[in-house]
């Protein structure tokens, strides 16, 4: 058994597709119209056949409440692994990404947290 997909709720699928692909560098995998919304997934270019990230519309009231509570408490909803958090922080900040936590050593790892512009906080992590 393995993880095939995981999702993040987003408040705007089009904006999320732009951010996750153009800014973060993920590759589009599926973009299938599903009525009012889309089945929209992205994958890492380093593992195009790996885990898909579903950019799930937050159309359910519980999803909106969840997103708002997580952001209010400063809790990331996803963790993305990178080779060097400091370098990725510099690259993303240069593209206008807003960080709520700069690169911070935390024992064996370094983390940073940014706003994905779609209602979520996302954490970066790399070995220290």
Report the CATH number at residue 24: 3.10.180.10
55 neighbors 13 (Cβ within 8 angstroms):
yes
pLDDT of residue 41: 98
The arithmetic mean of pLDDT across residues 75-92, rounded, is 98
The arithmetic mean of pLDDT across residues 42-48, rounded, is 97
Question: Between the CA of residue 117 and those of 1, 9, 128, what are the distances in Å?
Answer: 33, 12, 27
pLDDT of residue 46: 95
The pTM of the full predicted model, rounded to 2 decimals, is 0.95
Question: Tens digits of per-residue pLDDT, 15-39?
Answer: 999 999 999 999 999 999 999 999 9
CA distance 94 to 39: 30
CA distance 119 to 65: 11
119 neighbors 65 (Cβ within 8 angstroms):
no
The average confidence (pLDDT) of the chain is: 97
pLDDT cut 70: percent of the chain above it: 100
CA distance 123 to 114: 6
Q: Which residue has the tokens 């408040």?
A: 11
The arithmetic mean of pLDDT across residues 41-55, rounded, is 97
The arithmetic mean of pLDDT across residues 79-98, rounded, is 98
pLDDT of residue 29: 97
Query: What domain range is 17 assigned to?
Result: 5-127
**Number of domains forming the structure of the chain:** 1
pLDDT of residue 43: 98
pLDDT of residue 99: 98
């Amino acid at each position: 058994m393995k993880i095939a997909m995981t999702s993040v709720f987003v408040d705007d699928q089009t904006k999320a597709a732009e951010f996750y692909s153009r800014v973060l560098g993920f590759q589009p995998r599926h973009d299938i119209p599903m009525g009012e919304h889309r089945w929209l997934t992205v994958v890492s270019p380093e593992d195009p056949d790996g885990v898909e990230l579903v950019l799930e519309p937050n159309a359910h009231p519980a999803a909106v409440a969840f997103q708002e509570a997580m952001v209010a408490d400063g809790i990331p909803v996803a963790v993305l692994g990178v080779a060097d958090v400091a370098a990725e922080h510099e690259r993303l900040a240069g593209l206008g990404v807003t960080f709520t936590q700069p690169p911070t050593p935390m024992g064996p790892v370094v983390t940073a947290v940014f706003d994905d512009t779609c209602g979520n906080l996302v954490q970066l992590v790399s070995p220290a």
